[in-house]
Amino acid sequence: MALYASMMIRKTNWQTDSSELSAIRHEVFVDEQAVPIELELDEYDAHCHHWLAYIDGRAVATVRVRGNGNIGRMAVRKCFRGQGVGKALLKTVV
């Protein structure tokens, strides 16, 4: 497992970063896992807390937390999986 020295995780919101958040989630859930787009994007996104993980300035992972504390919609781009990015993202959120 590799942790990147250049990794940065920041909290954001749907209004500010919906293009990056939705791009990662589309790649992982819709393209890779064949989740219908109408199920992947939902009415909760605008009201959730979101985080983005960056490596070398590139957004590589995301997660959201709903108002009730439920963590979901975590997605890590394929080439960054198994390297500690998701773990670091969850540690930040929790």
Query: What would the two tokens of residue 91 be?
Result: 């540690």
Scan for tokens 């919609």, then name that residue.
73
pLDDT tens-place string over residues 66-77? 999 999 999 999
Report residue 1's pLDDT band, with 50, 70 and 90 as the boundaries: very low
Characterise 34 by phi-psi region: left (phi > 0), alpha (psi -120 to 50), beta (else): left
* Helix ranges restricted to H, 1-94: 14-25, 37-40, 85-93
* Mean pLDDT for the chain overall: 93
Report residue 3's pLDDT band, with 50, 70 and 90 as the boundaries: low
| pLDDT value at residue 17 | 97
pLDDT tens-place string over residues 33-71? 999 999 999 999 999 999 999 999 999 999 999 999 999
User: Is 0.85 topped by the overall pTM?
Assistant: yes
